[in-house]
Structure 1
Amino acid sequence: MRKLNLLAIVLLTLLILPSCATYTIGKGLSHISLQEEQTVPLTKYKDIQDKELLAKQEAQRKYEDEQKLKQNLKDINTAIEKKAEVNPYPLDLNKLQLPHIYRPLNSKQVLNPDFTSFQVLVLPLDNETRSTENLALIYNGIKDIDLQFIFITGSIENQINFAKLAGRDAVTLDKGTVLFNTELNEATTSSASFLLSDKKALTLSSISLLIDNLSLENLDVESYHKLCTELSGKRIDSLTAILENLEEKSLFALSDDEPSTSDWTLFTPYEYRKELAWPISDFLANLGFRDTYRVTHFSEETDSGITQEIGPITKERLDYLFSKGLMEVSSSTLALAGLTDESNPTFGLIANYIYP
């Protein structure tokens, strides 16, 4: 009996399970509902990142532009300051104010204070305008010489053009220009003072007294001497105004149209020489200035120096160095241009001094 009951229970269970499973699966599926696809708002994170990146790049560009602008302004100010320091010559020489101090190098060479020696050159460029090629030829002939000072005489155009070509510090005065590499102390319209060492100052000037636009072709020696004597009054006044500003130790170059009385000996093969005295050289000798070339050479006949032809005279010295308070060591002429082309010969006067 118990077996029958057990069998009945098993059969009943087998009948009920399929129906339950069918209900569960079928009914369950009917009750499962899937959400319909909905539009979800996008965050656009990449776009936000791109905008932030662009903003950073724009800020960086602005910063770099600001820095470039600041640097450009700084460069402009530096260039302005440099130009002010250099103090270039004006293109219009009518606007030139004297003294004009040209400082491309701002050099301040200090010489030996215990034994102070220095070397100078007189460069006479006359009043006829020189070409750039001619000035370059002259400069190439002297650029390797150790010169503390170069005195330039002649027209203002020649003086300035050579100073710019040489690229050295220069001071242009009323009647000449001085190129230098020592320390400039002060300058006036007529002279400039330099410090060779701590306690050694030297006053310099460069003076051109050349006669402009004057025909001398038909003059004899007496007439030429008379002309120089007539002009000497104003020229001596000009010299006096310059020389009264020179200190105890001083040196100046002079380009003149007058020979020197010390050269004018009658014991000479030059037949045009008469018994004459020349006012400018006599005036300077009376003031105690020493003619460097004449002091350092034995004879005016055997050592005539730079000689030029002007009017009725030939083979006469017309370019000089005069000093006071210095020891003249040596001096000599220096051919700078015209050895191959005699149409425009140029000779310099080079000299050495000791500052006692």
Structure 2
Amino acid sequence: MTHSIAILGASGYTGAELIRLIAGHATMKITALGANSKAGQTISQVFPHLRHLDLPPLLQIDEIDFANIDLCFCALPHKTSQEVIARLPADLKIVDLSADFRLRDPEAYKKWYGNAHAAVAQQEEAVYGLTEFYRDEIRSARLVAGTGCNAATGQFALRPLITGGLIDLDDIILDLKCAVSGAGRSLKENLLHAELSEGYHAYAIGGTHRHLGEFDQEFSKLAGRPVQVQFTPHLVPANRGILATVYVKGDAEAIHNALESAYSAEPFIEVLPFGEAPSTRHIRGSNFCHIGVTSDRLPGRTIIVAALDNLTKGSSGQALQNANLMLDIEETEGLMMAPLFP
């Protein structure tokens, strides 16, 4: 059986990544591509690296006929995404890659994103798309909300430790480095080569990063009481990858054992031997997440390091993983490619 797929926001980085992944999928066929700003162009004009693929031209979203579409990926910016999804057919399966449906509380969305939610009915039905922890709900969902790439990385490192009661919930420090593609493809002065290369910098310092809304929501739900982490992201002059260094109070060997146990059957999560640390070089272009655990020189403290590709496991790969479940396809289909190295 072939599944007909639409991608909205196909001219952005996550849209291009979706096309790359689906090109190697056994049962998915892209039949519609939406990109309002580049409507009328071909994919080869927008992304020359995809010119070998036989794909439909880019259309205005309102020009797309969704009657025979089995699933739609929505790779649009937040705020735009909710407005578009509210107008899509009510029975259409959707995987949204924006932030618009990640937060269950409309007031939390307004707090972190600065505007009232315009699709509250859809927000109420959305399932949070962290595949390894919401697999059953995703299978039966109509609308799945992809996680933030930073939020996914931190959660892979911490969720099993919170549920296992292995760490001090009031002393969690998350130091994260993110590659520049996480900021999207739009032109921004601070992302010019001359202003970004040869250095890196912290941003959203002091608890203002929007992915904190996801950490607050998910960690507090797991713990059954409010949990707030210290989180500082840094922008690094690399195209792909996230590296999160997490500092916690807890026994290192118990933490390593818990992570190994939690992820032993997971196809995309690799827990490294105790004392080893991952690198973004080793997950680039893949749907894998590598996690390492090391004891600190200070007694009772542990360092956890997690690495994933923000465009793949942190976004488009996760989206395809979820879509596979929603369409009753093997979860790993189209996603078992090896990382690119060097």
Report which of the two structures shows the higher radius of gyration computed on alpha carbons: 1
- TM-score w.r.t. the length of structure 1 is 0.30
* TM-score under structure 2 length normalisation: 0.31
Q: Which has the higher contact order (CA 8 A, sep 6+)?
A: 2
